[in-house]
Structure 1
Amino acid sequence: MKRVVLSMVLTALSVVAFAQSGSEEVTSKNSWLKVGINAGVPFGNLSKTSNFTLGAELKGQVMSTNHVGLGLTTGYNHFFPKDGFKNFGTVPLGLFVRYYPKSHGFFAGTDAGYSFVTGVEGATGGVYVRPQLGYHNYSWNVFAFYNGIFRSEENGSSMQYAGIGATYNIRFHKR
């Protein structure tokens, strides 16, 4: 599993590096950080132990073309437990791709990688996927998402939730 995640990260870094090679440089027009929050409702087996999730995210994006953004993502998602269960969280580490048909309006994309489980003794994470649909403009992205963390049977059941989120674009400035 670790080899798969490492391969995905190295592939994404290679794509980003080659997409920016030549005369292009990282500018506020083609690269930025995204800082955001999200909230979700667990379903499936996860709904037996948690009522609600609240998270923070950090993404670094490079526009490989006028319509496609690539990047790295991380964050923290906290799961608020039902009575009799303990607090826990997840820390995703992954790659993402976004498709922006126009400079403002609809976008679609997905995050994928590995999500680590925190706060549960002996628990391990799993591979995650997080497809998104939303609206974007120069500064903001507002979106709906599904998040699935798929774990092997011996490590526990899969963790699934759906929700909404927003990120703010922090642009790089030349000095």
Structure 2
Amino acid sequence: MKTFIFAAALAVLAVCVSTQTKAQSIEKGKLRFGIGADALLPVGNFSHSTNFGLGVTPRLQYGLSNKVALTFTSGIYHFFPKNMYAQTQTQLYAYKWDLDLIPVKVGFKAFVSSHIYIGGEAGMGFQVDNGGGDSEYLYSGTVGYANKKWDFGIRYENISGNGYRNGMIGLRVAYGFGL
């Protein structure tokens, strides 16, 4: 059943991508720059240590065609930690796991209609708190709406490295302009 649903979704996506609609926010050979604010909701095991996160994400976009663009995204994610408790033989103590991450991702944005797009990104996240130095792999899938000025997207992003894997749902609101 899962295979059938996946195949049906791919067929619908192929039909949408193959239609001859002209995207309103990408021009072939043109650069666009956008600055986004992100609301980040940890899911799975990540939600045990983190309440939520906020991010600022500048994005550079280059139009390969009127429907497809390459993207480069960076910025910073800050996650607000929960109080966690650990116990030794003699003492119970509270601690917080801080995470500030600088994402550096490349990806694509493909319009399936004049304003609706799908996208994907992959890259690295570099920790800047607790002495920094650690890096994680990042990859995400996005569905969104964009016009000449505004971009609204929702994504699932995975952060993995150092023996763990965490996920989050991200909502990005961005203002963009041509360069």
Report what 1:106 is aligned to: 116
**1:67 shift after superposition:** 0.5
Letter in 1 for 2:122: A
**1:82 shift after superposition:** 0.6
Identity within the alignment, %: 25
Partners of 2:126 and 2:132 within 8 A in 1:
no
Report what 2:42 is aligned to: 42
Letter in 2 for 1:164: L
Q: Secondary structure at the match of 1:46?
A: helix
Distance of 1:40 and 1:59 partners within structure 2? 17
Is the counterpart of residue 166 in structure 1 residue 173 in structure 2?
yes
Letter in 1 for 2:99: F
Number of corresponding residues = 142
Is the counterpart of residue 58 in structure 1 residue 68 in structure 2?
no
TM-score w.r.t. length of structure 1: 0.74
Partners of 1:35 and 1:170 within 8 A in 2:
no
Structure 1 unpaired stretches of 5+: 1-26
Structure 2 unpaired stretches of 5+: 1-26, 84-94
Partners of 1:127 and 1:151 within 8 A in 2:
yes
Report what 2:77 is aligned to: 77
Partners of 2:137 and 2:160 within 8 A in 1:
yes
Could you say which structure has the larger radius of gyration?
2
4+ runs deviating over 3 angstroms: none
Q: Deviations over 1:111-148 (max 9, x none)?
A: 11111122134662211102110111111110111110
Partners of 1:125 and 1:149 within 8 A in 2:
no
**1:59 shift after superposition:** 1.0
Q: Secondary structure at the match of 2:46?
A: helix
Distance of 1:67 and 1:143 partners within structure 2? 17
Distance of 1:96 and 1:34 partners within structure 2? 15
Distance of 1:70 and 1:138 partners within structure 2? 17
Report what 1:14 is aligned to: none
Q: Secondary structure at the match of 2:96?
A: coil
Q: Aligned-pair RMSD on alpha carbons?
A: 2.0
Identify if the C-alpha distance between structure 1 residues 102 and 31 changes in structure 2 by more than 3 Å, giving closer, same or farther: farther
Q: Secondary structure at the match of 2:75?
A: strand
